[in-house]
Amino acid sequence: MKIGSTPIHSIQHPVAKEKSVSLFVKREDLNHEHISGNKLRKLKYNLSYAKDHHFDTLLTFGGAFSNHIYATAAAGKANGFRTIGVIRGDEHLPLNPTLQFAKDNGMELHYMDRSSYRLKNSGTVLNELNSLFGDFYLIPEGGTNELAIQGCVEILNEEELNFDYYGLSVGTGGTIAGIIQGLNGKQNVIGFSALKGNFLEAEINNLFRQFNLPNHQNWHLNDDYHFGGYAKAPPELMQFIAAMEKDHQLPLDPVYTGKALFGLLDMITKDAFPKGSKLLFIHTGGLQGRSGFGL
């Protein structure tokens, strides 16, 4: 699967200027015309694995606004797979733009009640899905597995490994795990949790353990900027997103990238970085989800 190389843009933000740090954005949201962002990176090696092992069907899980469902539908279609999206909760008609896009790309939508959905990785639920849909290649919710991490290592190319700090949004931790692997213990990585609670650090450590990857010490998680929880978007956040778009031509989404960049700028304000630091914010995409917030 071809993924375009993405530009780095300088952001002339007054806060960065005042604190004498330089801020750049890696525009992973521009890595593909239709799919875009980290979900495409996470799918890349999963799709080649599925193809090499002669699967013709991909099955995965997600909520009704999921960037991962959206990307799987489009990437599946582009690569000749049948796709099945198991969606948490009941069907609501008309379909929201995310699910309509998935359907238009040929994805079969299968709704699952919330209590079964919680057990989605159990043998019982998977057997049931097998009898409904036949043999499939399973991609986990959010797309995170070993092959996804391998794909995310490729987000930064060799010339992009020399910033002092890297900041990005974290959901399941697959993307940051790839960034950390790519940097190979160098520089500093800050993950901004899109979810409330401090369990994500342990989950990222788990990914390294589970897949036998070296766990470097040059990263940490900041969970101060979830804005009330996953997919919560208070007015202060929405105003920030509107201002970044108007003043810096940078489109952000309210679930992931808006919160993370707000957090990075707030850390700059609070003198978290020495003068002269070079910061790279990784824009992980997710712009399709803006429609769910009226953007």
Ligand X SMILES: *Cc1c(COP(=O)(O)O)cnc(C)c1O
User: Which residues sit at the interface with ligand X, rule CB under 6 A?
Assistant: 37-39, 67, 142, 144, 169-176, 253, 256-257, 284-286
Q: Is the peptide bond preceding residue 94 cis, with omega within 30 degrees of 0?
A: yes
Helix 67-78 vs helix 38-52: crossing angle, to nearest 10: 40
Nearest distance from residue 87's CB to ligand X, in Å? 16
Contact 288, 31 (CB under 8 A): no
Nearest distance from residue 160's CB to ligand X, in Å? 18
Enumerate residues 6+ apart whose C-beta is below 8 A from 278: 21, 22, 24, 162, 163, 164, 165
Query: Phi then psi for 151, rounded to 5 degrees?
Result: -65, -35
Of 152 and 267, which has the nearer Cβ to ligand X? Answer: 152
Of 37 and 182, which has the nearer Cβ to ligand X? Answer: 37
Residue 39 is which amino acid?
A: K
Spell out where the chain has E strands: 8-11, 22-27, 57-62, 82-88, 108-112, 137-139, 165-170, 188-193, 219-222, 278-283
Nearest distance from residue 123's CB to ligand X, in Å? 25
Of 24 and 167, which has the nearer Cβ to ligand X? Answer: 167
Nearest distance from residue 210's CB to ligand X, in Å? 15
Of 26 and 39, which has the nearer Cβ to ligand X? Answer: 39
Nearest distance from residue 271's CB to ligand X, in Å? 26
**Cα dihedral angle (151, 153, 154, 155), rounded to 10 degrees?**
100
For residue 72, what are its two tokens? 């799987």
Of 19 and 237, which has the nearer Cβ to ligand X? Answer: 237
Of 117 and 256, which has the nearer Cβ to ligand X? Answer: 256
Nearest distance from residue 40's CB to ligand X, in Å? 10
Contact 114, 88 (CB under 8 A): yes
Q: Report the run of H or E that residue 247 belongs to, with start and end.
A: helix 235-248
Contact 5, 259 (CB under 8 A): no
The CB-nearest residue to ligand X is: 286
Of 169 and 187, which has the nearer Cβ to ligand X? Answer: 169
Nearest distance from residue 22's CB to ligand X, in Å? 23
